[in-house]
Structure 1
Amino acid sequence: MSSYDLLVVGSGLFGAIIAHEARAEGKTVLVVEKRDHIGGNCYTEEVDGIHVHKYGAHIFRTSDKSIWEYVEQFCEFNNFVNSPVANYKGELYNMPFNMNTFHALWGVVTPDEARAKIEEQRVACENPRNLEEHVLSLVGRDVYEKLVKGYTEKQWGKPCTELPPSIMRRIPLRMIYDNNYFNDRYQGIPIGGYTAVLEKMLEGCEVRLSTDYLADKEALDALASQVVYTGTLDSYFDYRFGPLEYRSLRFEHERLDVENYQGVAVMNFNDRETPYTRIIEHKHFEFGTQPTTVISREYPQEWTVGIEPFYPMEDAENRARFERYRELAEGEEKVRFGGRLGEYRYYDMQDTVKSALAKYAAWFGGNGVR
């Protein structure tokens, strides 16, 4: 006899929503988590009253009211709006690319002047072979050199001349003075941090931390009637067709005895020489007034098996390999696969919520929104 109706492998946002929906329907749920904390990459840790995003900035945003209201069950959002600053060798530019950016670059004042400057700098290319040719054909030399090239090469570990145009299919150019990075109607940070949100989602479930599912798969599977697995698909099948490739990140967190380090939550470093891509100052996500601060430097790094995967390398070779794994997954009778790792997709949090609700409804017959 199984002890639980459902075993959820992974306590990140996707797994926590699956677990919550199952509990709401009266199912008994066991959640196992390889790390020593819940929450996956959404995990926040409190330091001096500051909620530190331990795995990079997580800003919740959506234009779907039902998704916003779903998450509001577990928290109250503040009114944080992401307005990052790009630092290119000490020159500061607002992001996304808008009239404030163009004024700082060229001194232009009107949208027509900005369009004319971009058109003057564009390098026409009918069939771009790489990211450099693609971006130059869209926005010209200054935007490419100061705001795209260095950051992108650090992020992906390759020169832009070796990256496919598909990495940046379009570059939004806003001809208005508006530094709001996202267009979504609903934006904010959960007051009290994301860990509190995940704790509420997991209420009523048994949670086992520091538990490696794949190391004890047979015994754990025997505990439940059904399994939802949110880890990497290739590791589940013991890398039968070779590993799916990712880019990874490394974070350096530092507590400082200053009230305000950089004046903004997110500052990107767009030159190639600075080894990190950005610095996060966490207190600004919740408008903190603490006498100290915590910053995190974010370093892109090569991924190998055993390092935390962040961004899937969705080139043709990896997509083809994923499809082979997906066919294997469809043959599993008891186990279902989902989330950014289980689906080998980059998901924003709103995408994760939407996917988890839709998959729960498809798998278990729930209504998809509770």
Structure 2
Amino acid sequence: MEKKYDYLIVGAGLFGSVFAHEMTKRNKKCLVIDKRNHLGGNVYCEEKEGINVHKYGAHIFHTNDKKIWDYVNQFATFNNYINSPLSLSKGNLYNLPFNMNTFYQLWGTKTPEEAKQKINEQIAKYGVKSPNNLEEQALSLVGKDIYETFIKEYTEKQWGKKATELPAFIIKRLPVRFTYNNNYFNDIYQGIPIGGYNVIIDGLLKGIETKTSIDFFEDRQHLESLANKIVYTGKIDEFFGYKFGQLEYRSLRFENEVHDIENYQGNAVVNYNDAQYSYTRIIEHKHFEFGKQEKTIITREYPENWDRGKEAYYPINNDDNQKVFKQYKEESLKSKNVIFGGRLAEYRYYDMHQIIASSLAKVEEISKRKQE
């Protein structure tokens, strides 16, 4: 019996939306479903007070890949926003990423040589040759002052564990720049889509059948019967009924506030390092698009332990979880009619440009296979 769709795409985030768009261009019939009440996954923006609020945390597009930059520019015009976060620590504000402005604010050093000398002295005093945990790793990379001012308490809030209990690999490197440059990313292409990320999602899914508030697992048998193949972007362990155990994540909670003032903090992102604040940062959304609205909206971001009732944001990629994921990965390779893609299905953190590239690569792989 001929099925109604070529592809049922479970999840309307970037991976699923790009896949649906590309396969529709190739004359394939797609149905995109999502258990949330909106499309767009974590890049979804909610308009409030004329401001595009990044509902699931700040999303700043950046890439060195011109192909990906050209791809997203088909659907939206990007502004020239440059991410230059500030960091509040012990009552003082510092520039990020770690650069000459940061070092001047921290030590009063004015030249790269002075800053390098300060850092190297501290590495020699506090660093170790073979770091066993995150604290030792950080001390060995940047020394005591940078670690204690910017990394220790922030990271402990982020992961819910002491830095001495966290694996060293979490910070394989810490970018230190000896220039007066507050641009957080090194990428050539950066910006925010004017009108928010919904503009891109709407462009990708234009003319494609979509359904929201549909939980794949509540009507799995029927939904699977609709299409020849499934593109699954949800949690891989859930797909297989947690048969090898549950993978772990960190979650986030967001608290929004509307303020009757034009400007709350003067910057899109301000990190709150100290343990006395249970949130890690405050986002002021209007600054992403240089807004002039009379009111402003801020979001406090709180890291949380994850359970199945919460959104899964950051995979905890320790050895135990990787062993479990490897079993699910092997199982997924046996599923000939299911394509697994995206951060939850692949149990890895993706930036936006990476997930778009991954989806495009998957489409090309499938198309090439069919031509052979």
TM range (shorter): over 0.9
Partner of 1:118: 119
Partner of 2:31: 30
What is the rounded CA distance, in whole Å, between the counterparts of 2:17 and 2:176 in structure 1? 37
Tell me whether 1:9 sits opposite 2:10 in the alignment: yes
Partner of 1:306: 309
Are the aligned partners of 2:262 and 2:293 in contact in 1 as well (CA < 8 Å)?
yes
Partner of 2:53: 52
What is the rounded CA distance, in whole Å, between the counterparts of 1:102 and 1:333 in structure 2? 54
In the alignment, residue 237 of structure 1 is paired with which amino acid?
Answer: F
SS in 2 for 1:231: coil
In the alignment, residue 29 of structure 1 is paired with which amino acid?
Answer: C
Instruction: Kindly provide the CA deviation profile for residues 46-103 of structure 1, in whole angstroms up to 9, marking residues without a partner as x.
Output: 1121100000000000001000000111100000000000001321010000000000
SS in 1 for 2:344: helix
- Per-residue deviation, 1:365: 3.3
Are the aligned partners of 2:133 and 2:166 in contact in 1 as well (CA < 8 Å)?
yes
Partner of 2:224: 221
Are the aligned partners of 2:81 and 2:192 in contact in 1 as well (CA < 8 Å)?
yes
Are the aligned partners of 2:127 and 2:137 in contact in 1 as well (CA < 8 Å)?
no
Alignment equivalent of 1:355, drawn from 354, 358, 365: 358
Alignment equivalent of 1:320, drawn from 302, 319, 323: 323
- Per-residue deviation, 1:137: 1.5
User: After superposition, where does 1:124-139 map in structure 2 within 5 Å?
Assistant: 124-139=127-142
The answer for unaligned runs of 5 or more in structure 1 is none
Partner of 1:341: 344
What is the rounded CA distance, in whole Å, between the counterparts of 2:138 and 2:30 in structure 1? 48
Are the aligned partners of 2:261 and 2:296 in contact in 1 as well (CA < 8 Å)?
yes
Instruction: Please give the root-mean-square deviation of Cα atoms over the aligned residues, in Å.
Output: 1.1
- Per-residue deviation, 1:217: 1.0
- Per-residue deviation, 1:140: 1.2
User: After superposition, where does 1:261-340 map in structure 2 within 5 Å?
Assistant: 261-340=264-343
- Per-residue deviation, 1:197: 1.1
- Per-residue deviation, 1:39: 0.5
- Per-residue deviation, 1:226: 1.2
What is the rounded CA distance, in whole Å, between the counterparts of 2:20 and 2:368 in structure 1? 14
Deviating above 3 A after TM superposition, structure 1's stretches of 4 or more consecutive aligned residues are: 364-367
- Per-residue deviation, 1:363: 2.4
What is the rounded CA distance, in whole Å, between the counterparts of 1:311 and 1:203 in structure 2? 30
- Per-residue deviation, 1:290: 0.4
In the alignment, residue 290 of structure 1 is paired with which amino acid?
Answer: Q
User: After superposition, where does 1:160-239 map in structure 2 within 5 Å?
Assistant: 160-239=163-242
Alignment equivalent of 2:244, drawn from 241, 246, 252: 241
SS in 2 for 1:2: coil
Instruction: Kindly provide the CA deviation profile for residues 322-358 of structure 1, in whole angstroms up to 9, marking residues without a partner as x.
Output: 0100111111121110001110010000110110000
What is the rounded CA distance, in whole Å, between the counterparts of 2:144 and 2:63 in structure 1? 33
Of 304-313 and 276-285, the range deviating more from structure 2:
304-313
In the alignment, residue 325 of structure 1 is paired with which amino acid?
Answer: Y
In the alignment, residue 112 of structure 2 is paired with which amino acid?
Answer: P
Are the aligned partners of 1:9 and 1:31 in contact in 2 as well (CA < 8 Å)?
yes
SS in 1 for 2:257: strand
Of 274-283 and 138-147, the range deviating more from structure 2:
138-147
- Per-residue deviation, 1:310: 0.4
